Amino acid sequence: MRMAAHYYTVTWDQLHRDARALAWRLMANGPFSGIVAVTRGGLIPAAIIARELDLRLVESVCIVTYQDEQRGEPQITKPAPAAGDGTGFLIVDDLVDSGTTARVVRALLPKAHFACIYAKPAGREMVDSYVTEVSQDTWILFPWDTEPQFIEPLARRGSR
């Protein structure tokens, strides 16, 4: 596993707030007829946004790009047939990084509005809406990838 230069930990509360902030921004672009979650990262943000925008049609597109922190060639393991060419649909993902996954999704659903919570500079132009930009060398630790654990108080850790 390669190490990123920076790590940014996102809590469940922060993810919920950021997803709601994205939903608020998206209100002006709707109404949407449905939502497409990009799995797996987009599933929880899409559920929150679907609730906030009162969308009942939730579809998913499954694209495998990462194995741990190693990026590979994207593979579509499930398209999003209910979304057609994307007309009237909102695509939601947690993050746009290099834009590799976003390019594949855009090719499948060219007429959809693409939104994500976090965006890195290399992929930012691939999405229509996002909430927070992070540096390219930051690895975001989402709440589903982490668990709370005890940390020794600073005074007991010695000098570092």
CATH of the domain at 34: 3.40.50.2020
Write down the pLDDT at residue 155. 87
β 34-39/113-119 pair status: unpaired
Query: Measured between alpha carbons, how far is 40 from 6 in angstroms, rounded to an integer?
Result: 22
Write down the pLDDT at residue 117. 97
Does 153 reside within a domain?
Answer: no
Does 159 reside within a domain?
Answer: no
Q: Which of helix, strand or coil describes residue 37?
A: strand
Query: Measured between alpha carbons, how far is 90 from 78 in angstroms, rounded to an integer?
Result: 17
Write down the pLDDT at residue 94. 96
Does 63 reside within a domain?
Answer: yes
Picking from 82, 83, 66, 65, the residue whose alpha carbon sits closest to that of residue 74 is: 65
Does 158 reside within a domain?
Answer: no
Instruction: Kindly report the pTM of this predicted structure.
Output: 0.86
Taking residue 46's Cβ as centre, other Cβ atoms within 10 Å add up to 26
Does 135 reside within a domain?
Answer: yes
**C-beta of residue 61 within 8 angstroms of C-beta of residue 79:** yes
- For tokens 């746009």, the residue is 96
Write down the pLDDT at residue 75. 87
Does 152 reside within a domain?
Answer: no
Indicate which residues carry an active-site annotation: 93-94, 97
Q: Into how many domains does the chain fold?
A: 1
Write down the pLDDT at residue 131. 96
Q: Which domain does 18 fall in, by range? A: 6-84+92-146
pLDDT in tens, the chain (160 residues): 455 688 899 999 999 999 999 999 999 998 999 999 999 999 999 999 999 999 999 999 999 876 666 667 888 999 999 999 999 999 999 999 999 999 999 999 999 999 999 999 999 999 999 999 999 999 999 999 888 888 889 888 876 5
Q: Could you write out the three-class secondary structure of 74-114?
A: EEEEECCHHHCCCCCEEEEEEEECCCHHHHHHHHHCCCCEE
